[in-house]
Structure 1
Amino acid sequence: MNLFKLKENKTNFRTELIAGLTTFLAMVYIIPVNSAIVSNTGMPIEALITATALVTIIASGFNAFFANTPVAMSVGMGLNAYFTFAVCGGQKIPWQSALGAVFISSIIFLILSFTHFRLWIIRNIPKDLRLAICAGIGCFITFLGLSQMGIIVHNKDTLVGIGNFGSSHVLFGIFTLALIVFFWAIKLKGAFIFGVLISSIIAWIFHIDQAQFPTQLFSLPAFDSTSGLGVIFLNLDIKSALNISMIPIILTFFITQLFDSIGTITGVGERGKIFDDAKNGEKKLGKTLMADAAGSTLGSLVGTSTVTAFVESTTGVESGGRTGLTALVVALCFVLTLFLLPLFKAIPANAIYPVLIMVGILMFMEVKNIDFKDEAIAVGSFFTIIMMPLTYSITSGFAFGFLTYLLIRIFKRQWDKINLGIVVLSLISLGNFLLIALQ
């Protein structure tokens, strides 16, 4: 175990094992949730279950050995919803082309990970706007979760309205959400997956939404080319993703992954003082970001949307995890999920979509750290957050946010608070609206 330098990091095998198991329980929900969401693109759910597990294993394992940090990685929540409902559903872009866009954005991120670009971003983009993007994505995926559960529906007079609360489908979704919130509130480790599994068992017993017990719990991983991994593996379309109309989508994947990665990885590191070492801290941070980018590039090849560091890694860090051994334990635990295909397939949709809402709540909680006393920050953050769900687009949300932030600074003649990063991102945002106008 000297490979992970346990003594140097003031930890031991038992502590790292417990930390890895804790992180696994906190994030295993990603298998059924991501698969159910992305299957709306037309990709087989069997293939997605296998792909999600495989990418989590490889990305977390790679980070364990390459960066030696306790950061587990998997398919990013928020971006998988954007990939499915906004890109493939809203813009009618084939999932093959969307995967091509993920690949291009990940390659750009990977290349820039070898430079000081990430530090330039941290120094030039106000932290408040980065927090607003996180909160906005939280609103966006909460809106998606509520609509998929049937709690809010389309209304021709008011655009949206309340769904049918007399429906067992809707009531079951609300029950699952309440169960997950309860488990989270009492700080139960693995709150999400326990909420999903308990509500699924109830649905199987009472046949809610025609749910039935799985006829078997275990099966071999689905690698076949009929409905398994073979359908989506290396099936991305990079050529079509190079179309000029795909630029806003690529930028959304890139910028969101960048902010998400920096925020999550530094946040996890702060909990365990992992990057505080003056000698190796910066190196560890850089390597973890590289592993994040490499995992996302791999994910697009395997057939998943953007891969990123998981904030649930904080549960492992709080349990004492300090090295890559924690991430390796997570990877090994996810190997078991490759053989649980029948179980994951049997989970009803409304036992899954409430997780979107809970993740949205956690992301939105970042608003507490935004300085709303600053007019430019307040206006920019407001438009970033509110426009993501209202325009059904993460891209449009941060475009409105950066442009309005820059305008307020100009109106108030606060030239000292306008830097190159803000100007560049504002010009990109303006370009996004010009592309929409020309379509």
Structure 2
Amino acid sequence: MHFIDKYFKITESKSSIKTEAIAGFTTFLSMLYIVPVASSILSDSGMPKDALITAVTLATIIATLLSGIWAKVPVAMSVGMGLNAYFSYGMVKGMGLSWEQALGVVFLSGVIFLIVSLTKLRTWLIKSIPSGLRFALAAGLGAFICAIGLRSLDIIQISNDGLPELGNLNSTKIWIGLFGVGIILFLSARKIHASFLIGIIICSLLGGVFGLASLPHQIISTPASIAPIAFKMDFIGVFTLALIPTIISLLILDLFDSLGTLAGVGAKIGLFQNKDNKGDKVLEKTLQVDAAATVVGASLGVSTTTSFLESTSGVSEGGRTGLTSVFCALFFTLSLFLFPLFAAIPDFAIYPALVVVGAMMFLEIKNIDFSDLPIGLGAFFAIVLMPLTYSIANGLAGGFVVYILTSLALKQYHRINLGVIILGVLSILPIIVHGIFLKG
């Protein structure tokens, strides 16, 4: 006990092992929904859902454990919401990549993120992108995954004319989905822990009542094998010009998603504040874990791994050290054996969570200064292009190009730094080359 106290500085942080355990369990409950949700979304790429349930859980355990032991912070990590949707619906279904190639893209973005986290490139990249565009990327991603959730629930359908319209409201599944969205929104607004998990359970039970879902025949079993998806990354064809924006998009979104999450968690306890540079060192270690976890996750067969804002629930319960993350990882280890429960959850109980997560991510729009013309116009095009084109990369390119052109038109040359130019060129160049190729 003395070693644990000394290693995690529990007494120094004015906490206790009991408090850290309660905090870890609270974070676990708040995040448990990610196992069925992420595995269901990723399975739409063609990967077997059974293997994904195990892989998502393992990725969560490893990433969260590293966060506790290496970075020593009460920050849990798992497969990122939104980025998993982009993996299935953007890269695989939208761009026509195989899921093996998409895993290769995730792996490469993780390696680059790890290099960035170990060098001064991280600071340069962060300072290069205007904050308004960063918030626009988050809002656009939110709109993108909310649209996916509504489409998947058949609340929105595409007409014969190619235009979106309301689905058949006589469908019981649609009404269960709408009820699930309402329940999760209500519980989230009331700041109820595990609001997503509660919503998923209620929708699953309603599905059983109306004969749309079957209850599991057992609760506990051995985990499914991850052999069908582990170490299946395909790098052939990944090193092409057309995939550069996608790799950059994943890199930037993971970096800023992590920074935003860590800022939210750290604000409650002053975790990353500068105290003789200790705050920066802790942040660097946490980002290193985040990047390494993405590399490990891609090897296991899942999309980009990132820090989770649900960690604030554990912090609110008194979690102050990395021991909170260790306990959270241990609880997720127990969930490995709940495979029958996760496998029995129907899709229409999953997608309401996606709609609400998207809506919450879209709220980042409040941080954008639309009175600033270059920022406002760049943000607008970044946000609308993501859901309309089903591509984060297109939104990223549109945002950078409009920002640069508007800054030039206003002769505000100081806005256009080297980082913005490089990222803008890398984003738009493949689109130009692809257009020329098609024309020819």
TM-score (norm 1): 0.96
Cα distance in 2, alignment partners of residues 434 and 323 from structure 1: 49
Alignment of structure 1 residues 203-218 onto 2, 5 Å: 203-208=207-212, 211-218=213-220
Q: Could you tell me which residue of structure 1 aligns to residue 128 of structure 2?
A: 124
- C-alpha change, 1:173 and 1:26, in structure 2 (3 Å) is same
Q: Could you tell me which residue of structure 1 aligns to residue 336 of structure 2?
A: 338
* 1:46 pairs with 2:50: yes
Alignment of structure 1 residues 122-161 onto 2, 5 Å: 122-157=126-161, 159-161=163-165
Q: Deviation of residue 393 (structure 1)? A: 0.4
1:139–1:360 contact (8 Å) kept in structure 2? yes
Cα distance in 2, alignment partners of residues 319 and 434 from structure 1: 51
Residue 110 of structure 1: which of 101, 104, 114 is its match? Answer: 114
Alignment of structure 1 residues 353-364 onto 2, 5 Å: 353-364=351-362
1:88–1:98 contact (8 Å) kept in structure 2? yes
Cα distance in 1, alignment partners of residues 175 and 209 from structure 2: 16
Q: Deviation of residue 239 (structure 1)? A: 3.0
Alignment of structure 1 residues 190-205 onto 2, 5 Å: 190-205=194-209
How big is each residue's C-alpha offset from its partner over 1:97-145, in whole Å with a ceiling of 9 and x where there is no partner?
A: 1101111111111111111222222222111111110011000000000
Unaligned runs of 5+ in 2: none
- C-alpha change, 1:398 and 1:118, in structure 2 (3 Å) is same
SS at match of 1:123: helix
SS at match of 1:238: coil
Q: Deviation of residue 314 (structure 1)? A: 1.6
Alignment of structure 1 residues 167-182 onto 2, 5 Å: 167-182=171-186
**Aligned residue pairs: how many?**
432
Read off the aligned partner of 2:128 and give its amino acid letter.
Answer: N
Q: Deviation of residue 158 (structure 1)? A: 5.2
Q: Could you tell me which residue of structure 1 aligns to residue 255 of structure 2?
A: 258
Unaligned runs of 5+ in 1: 224-228
Q: Deviation of residue 74 (structure 1)? A: 0.3
Q: Could you tell me which residue of structure 2 aligns to residue 401 of structure 1?
A: 399
Residue 370 of structure 2: which of 369, 372, 384 is its match? Answer: 372
How big is each residue's C-alpha offset from its partner over 1:384-411, in whole Å with a ceiling of 9 and x where there is no partner?
A: 1111001110110111011101111111
2:137–2:396 contact (8 Å) kept in structure 1? yes
Residue 58 of structure 1: which of 29, 46, 62 is its match? Answer: 62
TM-score (norm 2): 0.95
Q: Could you tell me which residue of structure 2 aligns to residue 80 of structure 1?
A: 84
2:176–2:206 contact (8 Å) kept in structure 1? no
- C-alpha change, 1:296 and 1:431, in structure 2 (3 Å) is same
Q: Deviation of residue 240 (structure 1)? A: 3.3
SS at match of 2:157: strand
1:275–1:282 contact (8 Å) kept in structure 2? yes
Cα distance in 2, alignment partners of residues 429 and 239 from structure 1: 21
Residue 230 of structure 1: which of 227, 230, 245 is its match? Answer: 227
Cα distance in 1, alignment partners of residues 434 and 174 from structure 2: 35
Identical-pair percentage: 46
1:399–1:432 contact (8 Å) kept in structure 2? no
How big is each residue's C-alpha offset from its partner over 1:11-54, in whole Å with a ceiling of 9 and x where there is no partner?
A: 22222222211111111100000011111111111100000000
SS at match of 2:93: helix
2:20–2:324 contact (8 Å) kept in structure 1? yes
Cα distance in 2, alignment partners of residues 267 and 187 from structure 1: 15
SS at match of 2:370: coil
Read off the aligned partner of 2:402 and give its amino acid letter.
Answer: T
Q: Deviation of residue 84 (structure 1)? A: 0.2
Q: Could you tell me which residue of structure 1 aligns to residue 20 of structure 2?
A: 16
Read off the aligned partner of 2:223 and give its amino acid letter.
Answer: P
SS at match of 2:237: helix
* 1:418 pairs with 2:416: yes
How big is each residue's C-alpha offset from its partner over 1:154-205, in whole Å with a ceiling of 9 and x where there is no partner?
A: 1132521111111112111111111111211222110000110122112113
Q: Could you tell me which residue of structure 2 aligns to residue 272 of structure 1?
A: 269
2:144–2:386 contact (8 Å) kept in structure 1? yes
2:87–2:102 contact (8 Å) kept in structure 1? yes
Cα distance in 2, alignment partners of residues 273 and 219 from structure 1: 41
Cα distance in 2, alignment partners of residues 272 and 422 from structure 1: 33
- C-alpha change, 1:145 and 1:380, in structure 2 (3 Å) is same
Using the TM superposition, name which of 295-304 and 86-95 deviates more: 86-95
Cα distance in 2, alignment partners of residues 100 and 435 from structure 1: 23
Q: Deviation of residue 8 (structure 1)? A: 2.4
Q: Deviation of residue 435 (structure 1)? A: 3.9
- C-alpha change, 1:271 and 1:119, in structure 2 (3 Å) is farther
Using the TM superposition, name which of 401-410 and 284-293 deviates more: 401-410
Cα distance in 2, alignment partners of residues 13 and 394 from structure 1: 42
* 1:303 pairs with 2:307: no
1:100–1:240 contact (8 Å) kept in structure 2? no
Residue 221 of structure 2: which of 197, 219, 222 is its match? Answer: 219
Read off the aligned partner of 1:218 and give its amino acid letter.
Answer: I
How big is each residue's C-alpha offset from its partner over 1:322-380, in whole Å with a ceiling of 9 and x where there is no partner?
A: 21111111101111111111111111111100111110111011111111111111101
1:24–1:333 contact (8 Å) kept in structure 2? yes
Read off the aligned partner of 1:135 and give its amino acid letter.
Answer: A
Cα distance in 2, alignment partners of residues 122 and 247 from structure 1: 19
Cα distance in 2, alignment partners of residues 252 and 415 from structure 1: 25
2:70–2:289 contact (8 Å) kept in structure 1? yes
Q: Could you tell me which residue of structure 1 aligns to residue 289 of structure 2?
A: 291
* 1:389 pairs with 2:387: yes
Cα distance in 2, alignment partners of residues 272 and 403 from structure 1: 39
Cα distance in 2, alignment partners of residues 357 and 7 from structure 1: 41
